[in-house]
Amino acid sequence: MIPSNDAAVSIKSKTKVLFLSLKEEWKKSWTVFLILSIKDLLIGKSASLEAEAAIRKATMRVKEVKNVLDLKTMHIGSEKLLVNMEVHLTNNLTTDQIEKLVDKIKENIAKEVPAVKHIQVELEAPSK
């Protein structure tokens, strides 16, 4: 039996609706996948433990650094890291010496962890 023209149109319409529905579901699934893939970057994920250890190690290579008191890192893109750290330096340094030490700390970190693009070094004394 040959389907009537109305039946063929109905089948074509139902197929089109099904296709559009599947296309929308695919879009939703893809969107959810993308959001889950990048959510850590959207909410400011910290650097890996290995990267943070490398940052601490690079900082401690400056002999005037007594301790890294605090270290905060955050991804600011897929390949960039922001570093904010507090360091305790030896006593009796001049302003010029401190400026050079901060530059040396930043240089060491940039060499050790190339993903680090922004570094903020704060000078602090340890709390007692």
Q: What is the pLDDT of residue 41?
A: 59
Fold exhibited by the domain 49-123: Alpha-Beta Plaits (3.30.70)
Query: Rounded to the nearest 5°, which phi and psi values hold at 47?
Result: -65, 160
Handedness of CA 88, 90, 96, 102 (dihedral sign): negative
The first and second tokens of residue 40, run together, are 């850590």
Place of tokens 């910290």: 46
- Alpha-carbon torsion, ordered 57, 63, 69, 71, to 10 deg: -40
Q: What is the pLDDT of residue 24?
A: 72
Q: What is the pLDDT of residue 8?
A: 53
- Please say whether the beta carbons of 106 and 122 come within 8 A: no
Q: What is the pLDDT of residue 73?
A: 95
Q: How far apart are CA 120 and CA 106, in angstroms?
A: 8
Type of residue at 27: K
Q: What is the pLDDT of residue 25?
A: 73
Digits of tens for pLDDT over the chain (128 positions)? 555 555 555 666 666 665 666 667 777 776 777 666 666 655 678 889 999 999 999 999 999 999 999 999 998 877 889 999 999 999 999 999 999 999 999 999 999 999 999 999 999 988 86
Q: What is the pLDDT of residue 126?
A: 84
Q: What is the pLDDT of residue 45?
A: 84
For the beta sheet containing 116-123, the strands, ordered from the edge strand earlier in sequence to the opposite edge, are: 65-75, 81-89, 116-123
Residue ranges per structural domain of the chain = 1-43, 49-123
pTM reported for the whole predicted model: 0.69
Q: What is the pLDDT of residue 38?
A: 66
For the chain, how many helices (H) and strands (E)?
Answer: 3, 3
* Residues whose CB falls within 8 Å of the CB of residue 113, separated by 6 or more in sequence, listed in order: 47, 51, 54, 55, 58, 81
